[in-house]
Chains A and B, each alone.
Chain A
Amino acid sequence: MDLHLWIIPLLCFTGFALNLAGGRRWSNRVAGAVGVGFPALAFAYALWVVAQWPALAHPYLEVHRAWVQAGALTIPFGFQLDQLSLVMLLIVTGVGLLIHIYSLGYMAHEGGFYRFFALLNVFMFFMLTLVLANNYLLMFIGWEGVGFASYMLIGFYFHKDSASRAGMKAFVVNRIGDFGFLIGLFYIFSRFGTFEFSRLFPQVERLPVEAGWGGPLTVIALLLFVGATGKSAQIPLYVWLPDAMEGPTPVSALIHAATMVTAGVYMVARSAAIYDRAPQALEVVLAVGALTALFAASIGLLQRDIKKVLAYSTISQLGYMFMACGAAVYGAGVFHLMTHAFFKGLLFLGAGSVIHAMGGEQDMWKIRAGAPGGLRKYAPVTFATFLIATCAISGIPFFSGFYSKDKILYEVLTSGHGSPLWWGVGTLAALMTSFYMFRALFVTFFADPAGHKAAAKPQAGHGDGHGHGPHESPAVMTVPLMILGVLALIGGYIGIGDRFEHFLDPVFATGVPALPIHPIAGGEMTVSLLSVGVALLGLLLAWVFYLKRPELPDQLAASLGGLYQLIFNKYWIDELYGAAITRPLAAFSRVVLWRGVDVGLIDGAVNGVGYAARGAGDGLRRQASGNIRSYATWVALGAAAVLIYMLWGGPRV
């Protein structure tokens, strides 16, 4: 059975190439058809692949010709399909296709329509390469490639300085992570002589579990995780993701929520054989994940821009996925990855629909002021789907996020690699999540209870022909919302009874016996009840603060003083990085390296020697005169000297 998996990414590349070559001359209709058509074909092909699944050897491998070959190093264009890549394949092509369709509506009135779809297609190409690769280096192609697509799409509105800065920041910060990833890859090669999963992991699986920090697998695992903190926006490299909201909102949905940012989680899960034998590294993954989940959620509490709320929320949710990986229950992490793709993709698309409805406004309070009586009346589909997604991310029972997040918290508490401390941190973050998401929902969609702004005029529209007040988005946008709404609602049910995790088990069965679990009274039900409790508490608090007693937030802010300022200013982390790293580096490069060492020291010495020589004699000064005869003279003199030397000093044979 030959699946020709390479066709899937290549379909998306074709879409990119066509729009790159011809899109400028095409109408939006043609460019859009190409831009959506090829991902649609890729999705169809993926479905066909799924249909073949039962008949396949697992994992299914196909290895084509070499991409890089030198000495003992051979890196093939090779693809692999196992349970993990199958799940990723469906998420990427499925959610990707929905977001492409949505973009037809969202981008309809933007310039650079074809450019947008070309870039979105090339993103799909790289993302599919990433998840289908059969070796780390091909994965790295995808890894860097999605980073490139992200860079281009964050900076899509390139005339805006903030957008181009954000794109550059994303790329450079990711490169810091890639530095670690690369060195991890060097270690892998020097230790095992291959990058191919099917050759590498069997070797790894023969090695014992390492005890300390210095073991090779621990070092490799930690270095790979450095890469993951960049791509998946974890502490300390998360700073690029909030800025990435400069990109068009469908980009935020696809790249900065549903797919690309989960690549780090995918990579860690893919490397389960390594992490299972590196308990210290698992501990780091768990701690970083939990701290990021809490830290980002706390920032999310006070953001006013709807997309920024979602950005910090994404960072926080990615933290949950890493918590699962750190507890060595990768299946739960991938489960949350999937439900998150549904509900966070939906939240971003919903936010996009809101922004669309409000003529580009992103400040939730201004949206509220611009839609008297509450936006939910103007945009009911957007509201309904946003509500579903909010319930899902907050962990309201029977919504998808409830199942996956609950699973993670339970595992973190009971798994041999977990601990009550990190469970507590995760639960606190869950409380915050529920609060900030319902805060966003209430402020965005419900009328201001104070009512004093009800008289405000509705915001003007786009100024492109349908510049009326708040309105529902066209069907091309709301249909994807509804499909994702259904998925965000029911997507968790496949995890009931751990069916989803059992499906993934073959990938994560790496030969390390599971540690004994810490049993707790009442089992999973206890954890679930607590989780539901904090979710409802968050909802209630948000309701009190933003619908019932709107004067409370200000009073609380005033009473908290410094702490409020700290969180409101995002802990001043960007300012800290700027003052401690970015600006000193630029100043050092300019003043010390360039003006000091280069121009001053080295070139000064060189010119000094030159001037000294020039001053030394008339002949030399003429040499520097730049006229042809003097060069010729010198060449002739040199030749004469050579001849004389050879006649006198050379060997006489």
Chain B
Amino acid sequence: MNFLNHTLNHVIVTGMVFLPLAGILALLLARGDRAVRWVALAFTTATFLLSLHLPFHWDSASGGFQFLQRHPWIPAFHIQYLVGVDGLSLWLSVLTTFLSVIGVLVSWRSIQKNTKAFFILLLLLETGMLGVFCSLDLFLFYTFWEITLVPMAFLIGIWGHERRLYAAMKFFLYTMAGSVLMLGCILWLYNLTGTFDFLAIKAGLASGAFALSSSTELWLFLGFFIAFAIKVPLFPFHTWLPDAHVEAPTAGSVLLAGVLLKMGPYGMLRFNLGLFPHAARECSAAIVVLGLIGIVYGALVAFVQPNMKKLVAYSSVSHMGFIMVGVFTFSLIGTQGAVYQMLNHGISTGGLFILVGMLYERRHTFELKEYGGIATVMPIYAAFFVWMVMSSVGLPLLNGFVGEFLIMVGTFTAAVAHAHVYAMVAATGVIVGALYLLHWTRSTIWGELANAKNKLLQDVDGRELFVLATLALLTLFMGIASPYFLNKTEATVKAGVAAFQPAPTLSAHLAARPTPTLAARGGAQ
């Protein structure tokens, strides 16, 4: 048993990342839509179960990477296959495998054309997302990053709604623009350090073995940052998101909001803060302000949307703004909150998109004015609707509150200038958040059932009930048992923010930094 565990620990990450690819092979052999769906469900479920190995065998005391696996890949360029998981990527990986199962379930009936291709892309996307969270080689990371881009663009472009091509193109180009910058920075960094090995680069930068001039660090920081900021999306890089969401099929929206957006803050925490702490500190005020603008702006724009999918999309801008504030105020509590909020947003917003999708499947419109009084004909649906809205609005005992509260209290007590003002502006989010979410609730499920087209709508069926109940129970569990999740991330987060704590040693370190001229190639040689 021990031997088995040991072996499993060694290959678990690889197994998890590539099991969906094996699923694609199986899908190619599958005959008929029915078989295709079941195969996809089987493989996503198996991947999810496999990913649960990680938290169950987690060493909470360790802030470093666990389940590491390292192989040379392209030795000529020092490119390795290097994967592993730390507190930052642990739950994001599990979130990915979980939402992939949900993604298959919500596509069960709604995807009727090119079913096989759809699920192949979905599984490819899953591998890409997991690879992003688990790769510790920059080249490998970039490869997976790009892999996520293509299937999502196709999911939108082929199975999307009326303006799907425009949205897919916009999504692709927007993200590509950021990716190109990041690729440039990765290559630059390789040029400076001679390696793609994240662990080696980080250790080298921290120890001073590689030193970057201030301006080099700043440019590298910005290159990575813009790629991630587009992904978040941070105001003002967000305008691709509403279009992408409106056009995407439900599963696409769920994975886009639930996982792809998380690649932004994840990348910032991993690379921007992990590799370029000084530049991060320098830019933090501007980024926090953009995050705060996002919180209020996203909520207010969501409030006036006539299209419910756009409403939820803008709500993401608002919620992700919270995460930005938590990340760039560098406090342990706030960063823990941000990490938690990434999971919460994945569950809650995923749930909201699923609810929107269920209405769309019945009525083929997202227009708010087409609805109203839905609770009369779909009472069970309405109950889940209210539940997920309350999760999103941050009702205590559901998940959203814990994350938002930790971010705000962490920000308030953070050792940065204007911390109090930041927290207060963020806290206005609790008002405007209630405003748009309850406005949406009121105009969709409450009120008179005036539209004749809605009078015969069927309430949720067994499959839909299963999906919604699973998500609802999860929001409750995460709302009351947050220590179960956060205890496993704390060591990593603590190590991560340690570089940002205003201790005398840090200023001494800053003063002692070598003059910023080093040609970095020397560092590697």
The A contact surface, by secondary structure, is helix
Within 8 A of A (CB), among B165-221: 165, 168-170, 173-174, 183, 187, 190-191, 194
A132 to chain B minimum Cβ distance, whole angstroms, is 15
Within 8 A of A (CB), among B277-296: none
Q: Which residues of B contact A172 (CB under 8 A)?
A: 431, 434-435, 438
A374 to chain B minimum Cβ distance, whole angstroms, is 37
Q: A172-B435, A183-B427, A589-B301 are contacts. A159–B395 as well, Cβ < 8 Å?
A: no
Q: How far is the CA of A161 from the CA of B183 in the complex (A)?
A: 54
Q: A141-B397, A186-B408, A589-B304 are contacts. A69–B435 as well, Cβ < 8 Å?
A: no
A598:B427 contact, CB within 8 angstroms: no
Q: Which residues of A contact B62 (CB under 8 A)?
A: none
Q: How far is the CA of A645 from the CA of B185 in the complex (A)?
A: 13
Which of A70, A168, A610 touches B406 (beta carbons < 8 Å)?
A70
Q: A70-B337, A185-B409, A602-B239 are contacts. A141–B300 as well, Cβ < 8 Å?
A: no
Question: Can you name the residue of chain A whose Cβ is closest to the Cβ of B317?
Answer: A598
**Residue among B236, B240, B373, B449 with the highest chain A CB neighbour number at 10 A:** B236
Q: How far is the CA of A426 from the CA of B403 in the complex (A)?
A: 44
Q: How far is the CA of A151 from the CA of B441 in the complex (A)?
A: 12
- Mark each residue of chain A from 153 to 175: 1 if its CB lies under 8 Å from any CB of chain B, else 0: 00100111101110110011001
A586:B303 contact, CB within 8 angstroms: yes
Q: Which residues of A contact B401 (CB under 8 A)?
A: 144
Which of B183, B396, B413, B490 touches A141 (beta carbons < 8 Å)?
B396
Q: A70-B406, A179-B427 are contacts. A152–B386 as well, Cβ < 8 Å?
A: yes
B413:A589 contact, CB within 8 angstroms: no
B239:A186 contact, CB within 8 angstroms: no
B438:A20 contact, CB within 8 angstroms: no
B486 at the interface (CB under 8 A from A): yes
A617 at the interface (CB under 8 A from B): no
Q: How far is the CA of A650 from the CA of B332 in the complex (A)?
A: 38
B472 to chain A minimum Cβ distance, whole angstroms, is 11
A168:B438 contact, CB within 8 angstroms: yes
Q: A71-B333, A71-B490, A145-B395 are contacts. A189–B379 as well, Cβ < 8 Å?
A: no
A631 at the interface (CB under 8 A from B): yes
Q: A69-B487, A148-B390, A168-B438 are contacts. A155–B168 as well, Cβ < 8 Å?
A: no
B303:A646 contact, CB within 8 angstroms: no
Q: A68-B483, A70-B337, A186-B412 are contacts. A646–B77 as well, Cβ < 8 Å?
A: yes
Which of B410, B447, B483 touches A161 (beta carbons < 8 Å)?
B447
- Mark each residue of chain A from 321 to 336: 1 if its CB lies under 8 Å from any CB of chain B, else 0: 0000000000000000
B307 to chain A minimum Cβ distance, whole angstroms, is 11
B239:A606 contact, CB within 8 angstroms: yes
- Mark each residue of chain A from 589 to 619: 1 if its CB lies under 8 Å from any CB of chain B, else 0: 1100110011000110010001000000000
Question: Can you name the residue of chain A whose Cβ is closest to the Cβ of B383?
Answer: A20
- Mark each residue of chain B from 430 to 458: 1 if its CB lies under 8 Å from any CB of chain A, else 0: 11001100110110011111000000000
A513 at the interface (CB under 8 A from B): no
Q: Which residues of B contact A65 (CB under 8 A)?
A: 483
B376:A159 contact, CB within 8 angstroms: yes
Q: How far is the CA of A73 from the CA of B379 in the complex (A)?
A: 40
A178 at the interface (CB under 8 A from B): yes
Count, chain A residues at interface, CB 8 A: 67
A653 at the interface (CB under 8 A from B): yes
A499 at the interface (CB under 8 A from B): no
B525 at the interface (CB under 8 A from A): yes
Q: A593-B297, A642-B183 are contacts. A653–B386 as well, Cβ < 8 Å?
A: no
B413:A190 contact, CB within 8 angstroms: yes
- Mark each residue of chain B from 370 to 396: 1 if its CB lies under 8 Å from any CB of chain A, else 0: 000101100100010010001000011
Q: How far is the CA of A73 from the CA of B410 in the complex (A)?
A: 9
A616 to chain B minimum Cβ distance, whole angstroms, is 13
A140:B448 contact, CB within 8 angstroms: no
A182 at the interface (CB under 8 A from B): yes
B301:A593 contact, CB within 8 angstroms: yes
Question: Can you name the residue of chain B whose Cβ is closest to the Cβ of A138?
Answer: B396
Q: Which residues of A contact B420 (CB under 8 A)?
A: 186
B424:A69 contact, CB within 8 angstroms: no
- 30 contacts across the A-B interface (CB closer than 8 A): A66-B483, A67-B483, A68-B482, A69-B483, A70-B486, A70-B490, A71-B333, A71-B490, A73-B333, A73-B406, A73-B409, A145-B396, A158-B445, A159-B373, A159-B447, A165-B442, A168-B438, A172-B435, A179-B427, A179-B430, A182-B405, A182-B430, A183-B427, A186-B408, A602-B239, A610-B173, A646-B187, A649-B191, A653-B194, A653-B524
Known pairs A68-B405, A70-B486, A602-B238; list 9 more (Cβ under 8 Å): A72-B333, A148-B395, A159-B373, A159-B376, A164-B442, A167-B442, A172-B435, A646-B190, A651-B190
Among all A-B residue pairs, the 5 with the closest Cβ atoms: A164-B446, A186-B412, A589-B300, A141-B396, A71-B332
Interface set of A (CB-CB < 8 Å, partner B): 20, 24, 65-73, 137, 140-141, 144-145, 148, 151-152, 155, 158-161, 163-165, 167-168, 171-172, 175-176, 178-179, 182-183, 185-187, 189-190, 585-586, 588-590, 593-594, 597-598, 602-603, 606, 610, 624, 626, 631, 635, 638, 642, 645-646, 649-651, 653
